[in-house]
Structure 1
Amino acid sequence: MPVRRLTTMLVILLLAGLAPVLLVRAAPFLQGIENWVADYRVATLTPAQPQQPDIVIVALNEDTLARFPYRSPVDRAFLADLLRNLQAKGAKAVLLDVLLDQPTEAVKDAALAAALRELTIPLVVSHGSAAEGLTEAQVAYINDFVPPDRRGWANLVKDNLDGTVRWIFPGKPGADGQWQAGVVPALAAHLGLSPPKSLIPIAWRGRPDAATAPFRQFPAHAVSLLPPAWFKDKIVLVGADLSDRDRHVTPYRTAFAGNAGVLPGITIHAHALSQLLEQRTAPNQGLALAVAAGLIAAGLGLILGLVEISLWLRALLGFGVVAGLWLLAGPAFAKGNLLLPQIGPSLSVLLGLWLTDIWRGRQERDQKRFVQAAFAKYLSPVLLDDILKDPSKLSIDPKRRDMSYVFTDVAGFTTISEGMDATTLADVMNRYLDGMVKVVFAHGGTVDKFIGDAVFALFGAPRDMPDHAARAAACALELDRFAQSFLAAETAAGRPFGMTRIGVHSGPASVGNFGSEARFEYTALGDAVNTAARLEGLNKYFGTRVAMSGATAERCPDLPRRPIGRIVLKGKTEPIAVFQPLTDEEAASVFMQGYQRAYAALASGQTGAAALFEALAMQQPDDGPVALHRERLAKGGDSDLVIMSDK
């Protein structure tokens, strides 16, 4: 076999095997899926085990707390009696998962402090620091209350992606720089075990059956009544089992609803401690296993790509291999203690198959990539993706659909541009339009066209978009923020630029490819489009930067806004409601609340409207809508109906 052929196959193998591993780890969405399927296997396929014989949980539950005059902090005298009682009943060691970070009743505090010092059996008490959210006073108190040799960090290690507990917390340096173990490793050390010094995955203990918990558990208030034999030579873990605190997401949440998957911290500590006691190995997982599985899967895809069969059959076999990998994952965990990755190897099979097809000269695919590269600069990603998925979209027959439209224009830019040389003009416009287009694309819109410095964007075509009005309104606000920032930067650099005005409207229009077979343009036509363009122009009259129609506003009930008026456009007989969209901060301002009252008075024909607008003008003389209505009222206007005499 030629060296070049072998080299190419090796490159495909490495690329298809390793790229998905890196992609899954870099993409939170994919890593989240990978975590979920692994957690589901842990929750449903962990082998059954007898109830743990050496660990007992003593739970501070609702019935326990109901016996005290206050729920928190837990009654210190009760805890002191509980610890002494457990020692008297022959407990081998105790973990107290209660944070003793503030004083309660002096006598009871003293009783518990004495118990902590005097207990002769191994005892570890939860400890915390400022890093865990404790105040300086709390840190000082807990350090004074809990003897150093009894402390263990109470931390649980949660996945930053989904908040699930999957690891045993080994410990960390304290304020003095000395290593302090977590509560479970600290207790393990007291028991003569070798505690972990780095993160290790939890090997969750299986249930004996669906009705029996992995660990025996008794309510704390019943301990004094229970036989000593139930605690003799047992490791007792004392902690909260409440519905409203100290519960944490575990892998069991993927398969069990409610609290069955969101476990108390003390139960999680019991799983971790049992793993150390029994020296059970956590399921094999990690980067090395992911790389090995990825390379094997990529090799299978490469072999399929080399087989001389039809493309459809090859693809079908490829998905069959992926299905086989998923079916293999269950027995590999249940029987072999392997948590095989599934998303990465699945992608490796398909990527290996796809890369091999490209290598073998699949001209159709090469042509498709060429088309995509050639047109990506001219069409929005949404439109291009729609055309690539369905070539019939290139039909010149238009369709009528409900959409939203955004028009923007830079005030006075024609005059400004006359004072620029061609190079400067191109640089300014390219940077401005590039930023505007990025905002439109970020909200799922399609840039229909540029008209000089103006931008026309569609929402709701070529794909259906039920929330097109909300997207258009949000886009308009972000376009305004970008345009204001751009204007400020250009002004600071000594380059003239104008304010950007924006119009937003929603309604039906015809959209499609208009033109001839030789040359056509994807665009929208109709009265709704014209209305959006005219709203942009009305900003000059209103003294605003963004004007939004009532047709758009009524579809965005949660969007803050203020009414400008009922406007009869030139050439029209019926008014349309026009609003200015606002940020949450603007809407909550005292001025804007005053404006809403003044406008309501104007709209209802109240005689006090003029005085209200006069007062607003004193607060913000430059506010456009206030100036508009103040002037109208001064000229005898008595409502919010505005009839435009020009466009």
Structure 2
Amino acid sequence: MAARALLRRGARVVQDAGRWRLAGTALLLMLALFVAGWDWTRPLGGAGSQREIATADAERGLYDWRAATFAPRVGQDQQVVMVVYDDQTLIATRKRSPLDRGLLARALRNLDAMGAKSIGIDILFDQPQDEDAQLIAALHGMRTPVWLGYANIGDNREQIIFEQQQYLDRFLTRARTDRVRPASIRLETDADNVARSWPRPLAGQPPLLSLAMQPSPRFTDYRGAIRFRMPLAQADGAEEPVIPSLQIDLLADSAMTAALAPMVKGRHVLIGGDIVDIDQFETPLSGRQAKSTMIGLEVHATMLTQLLDEALLPAIPGWAMWAAAALVVLTAGLTSLAELRWFWLVPALVVQAGAIVGAPLWLQARGWDTKGLPAAGWALGWVIAFAAVSAAARAVTSQQRRFAQAALGKYLPRDIAAQILADPEKLALHGEKRPIFTLFTDLEGFTKLSHAIAPEMVAQLLNRYLDMLSDVVLAHGGTIDKFVGDAVVAFWGAPIARDDDGRKAALAAYAMWQAGETFRRDLPPGVPPIGRTRVGLHHGDAIVGNFGGEGRIQYTALGDSMNTAARLESANKALETAVLVSREAMERSGLNWWRPMGRVRLRGRATPVDLFEPAPDFPGEDRALLEQALAAFDTEDVEARAAALGQLKALADRYPEDAALANLVYRYEYIGDGGIYGLG
């Protein structure tokens, strides 16, 4: 049923939107689909373009948070070891840069003797040194495969110039053997200078350092995310680094060979610098670690361990990205079309927001590469689609809503009118028996007044008065049945019943009397005084529906409930009250301001009615005393009834200006047998 209603409304929007509005909505939906489906790591405009989608910064931040939050917690890696030289090493060798090649030559010989599996050197030999011959000799004597760092001026202009490139090429030619070969030490960063991905291969470049040290067909074309890992916390709270490292000074000392051999044997060794402000990279883990950057050597080591573990993070297929984007856009559009009430809309939005936020987290936790996943794009695409469809739907239905406001808004609360507009079947020609709260009003003396002033003034005053009372009814969620002269007939509980109908009906009855008092005080100069507004409220069954035939209908209520409310309104005059409510309505109001006004037999009714009057300013202790005294009249005890009458008189004496209370005493003083006062 709901699906059919949704399809009908969608068809109405498409049919009535108009050519230009449909075109605009379609363009916005295409934009929403693009934003929700585009891989933000791909620049706009194709290869070489530097333009990014607007959400790229947000996507990068969300990805870094996901990658850091779900990064594997591991102990120290046993496959790779880093050999580093730092600022202290350079100071000791009296060379700022590059590293003393004699020291490196000694370290290489010792590593070769320790049984390293392979050696990768993240150093560019782009300048001559006096120790070059020592290093060349050491490289020529290596039994362990050695990979020398290589960079090209074409893709690394900030780090190398033409003369350096020439020297680097000559050095590699001299050093090359069947065991010593060049490898690319190129790393890539995104627009925010954060290293997240494996670098793309470039024409004319040797293999990437990690792939050279451990060839793997599966990783040859891998361009996905680097799998960064976090150290596992120890029992004492300390954390061992994921990739162990040794100082090159120790490895260059032959006396340390035996002690350090267990840390080197069978492992891949990466040699490079840990120099302040040189070769430092931000990573997705930068915000989670004490050191905000990671040296390039450790990035290479991280990639190598990922390769050794065969942790090729599966990428989300492009078709799946666009399918998810289409689902996001479709869900947003359907949610907008559904026009859900808040108690359904809020859960729907929570579920959709949970899916949009949770899906990337779930995929990341399951080991997928979510680097290109448009998490922020999903949210923005949803908003664009929801707004586009909502704007089109509102424009299409504005005419129907204006009709509903004109035809129903003057008689029904806005929320009920909106529901009827959404479901026209509620206006079908039929009647049904329903329990409702029925309210009648009357303006005392208006008929007499209408003969004393000009007809134009009568119309002006009557319209103003009915507007005031109508506003009260609609503000309290009631349905205006009809106007009969200066009288207003209204009810609660139809066409839609709500749990607080009794409370709202009771509050409206009192507010209508107050509105009448305001009307009396604000009469124009020259208009004779006018009487009070009298109100009657009752709860009971009535036949509610549209009556009058196909050509002329009126939504109204028929039955004894209506008659009782009318009799209650009329009883106000005889009992000198302003608002009278039956027990049936009082008990369902949930209010505690009522004071009992006795039991009467209304004209035309055989069954007596217990009356109550709203008295918010009447003291609670006096209200209790009044209830106790009236209860005594339900007994056969003559003495108790006499005592109760005395209590009523004493109470009335304390309120000499309360005409209704005095009238109550009068009725019970002269009441007949049976304790029921009959109204003629």
Q: TM-score, normalised by structure 2?
A: 0.48
Q: TM-score, normalised by structure 1?
A: 0.50
Q: Which of these two proteins has the greater Rg computed from alpha carbons?
A: 2
